[in-house]
Amino acid sequence: MKRLGFDKNVVYKEGELKMLHTSEIRWFIVGNLSKETLRWFSAGRLTRATIQVHEYLLLPDCDTVGVKFREDRFEIKANLSVFQPLSLPTGVEGRIERWVKWSLPTKGLPMFGQALHQSGPWLKVRKERNQRTYSAESGSLQEISGHSLPVTGCNIELTHVEVEADPSSWVTFGFEAYGPQSVTAGILEEGISYFFKGQGRAPGMKLTEANSFGYPTWLMNLGMK
């Protein structure tokens, strides 16, 4: 797919540069991922489990921008708005945020990568991620399997996280809706409703506004300089 111009409010790709608009909600819980929670999340379905190590640039007192290397790509992520509160009858509360993400392949940019690694402190984060995906391309959400992701849809992830230089283990649970900027908020709302209607309340996890934020805020809260 090739969309020219940043004013189209769609997934952007020109050459190797990609731009993606998302609406997201995420929670962080200290502790290990339990088998009970994983069974709840999977609900008998085969989830795509992957292990990745991402490197984050630590930006002091900044929770609106994320800079990282992930596998073979370099990414910059910026917050577009003040969060919107979420409150469900089941007791789930959180913060919905809108983001835009630019990514480039690191291949062919060795000097760029070296300069970035010298620009400040970096932190390695190991993620063991379980993911389910809803496609919105047919006009309504449908869960899909496999490794190919839809152009418009919503990912739901449950991830065990370990951080370099931090003895604690963490679990992060979140929703990421993506596609044209004008529809991501609606897809996220539908995805959250659809998921919790089928799964019920999360065992072993308190999903509150106090522990709902993105990776930049979480890294900042860790207090690592």
Host domain of residue 190:
12-222
Tokens of 13: 């790709």
pLDDT at 90: 86
In a domain, 93, yes or no: yes
pLDDT at 110: 67
In a domain, 187, yes or no: yes
| Average pLDDT, integer, range 64-81 | 92
In a domain, 5, yes or no: no
In a domain, 64, yes or no: yes
In a domain, 6, yes or no: no
3-state SS string for 14-83:
ECCEEEEEEEEEEEEEECCCCHHHHHHHHCCCCCEEEEEEEEEECCCCCCCEEEEEECCEEEEEEECCCC
pLDDT at 157: 95
* CATH number, position 92: 2.40.320
In a domain, 7, yes or no: no
Q: Is residue 47's pLDDT more than 90?
A: no
In a domain, 3, yes or no: no
Q: Is residue 9's pLDDT more than 60?
A: no
pLDDT at 4: 28
Read off the DSSP letter of residue 6: T
Residue with the bigger pLDDT between 146 and 123: it is 123
- Lowest-pLDDT range, 8-12, 21-25, 87-91, 212-216? 8-12
- 92: confidence class by pLDDT, cuts 50, 70, 90: very high
Query: What is the domain count for the chain?
Result: 1
CA quadruple 25, 184, 131, 50: dihedral positive or negative?
A: negative
In a domain, 2, yes or no: no
> CB–CB of 105/113 below 8 Å?
no
